[in-house]
Amino acid sequence: MPWSSTRVFSHPLANLKQEKIDPGAANFVSFSIVEWMTWQGLGDIINDWRVSIDLEPVPLTEGPGLAETLKVPFTYCWSPSLVPKPVDWPEHIGE
């Protein structure tokens, strides 16, 4: 499942209705919304675990976009015939 922001398609867990917004912008923002909601549900659990291994907690404002901020490399293991790599994905995201 693609978790990297793109204007080409929306996050698979998002169902945004776009009436007065550009569909590409709605697609792109859907990834941030799902990431933020996920962090709302799991952030405290992740931070409790981080503290238990002597790491600092991740601030609420940084957690949702941390993978993109740090440019964590991703490789999506499916055929580009099924889901072609969007042109707006950066270089650290493979096919």
What are the structure tokens assigned to 13, written together? 């867990």
pTM for this one? 0.83
Give the Cα separation of 48 and 38 in Å (integer).
16
| φ, ψ (nearest 5 deg) of residue 93 | -110, 115
- Half-sphere exposure at residue 89, Cβ-oriented, CA atoms within 13 angstroms: 21
- 3 state SS of 26: helix
Summarised one tens digit per residue, pLDDT across range 32-76 is 999 999 999 999 999 999 999 999 999 989 999 898 899 989 888
Reported residue count of the chain is 95
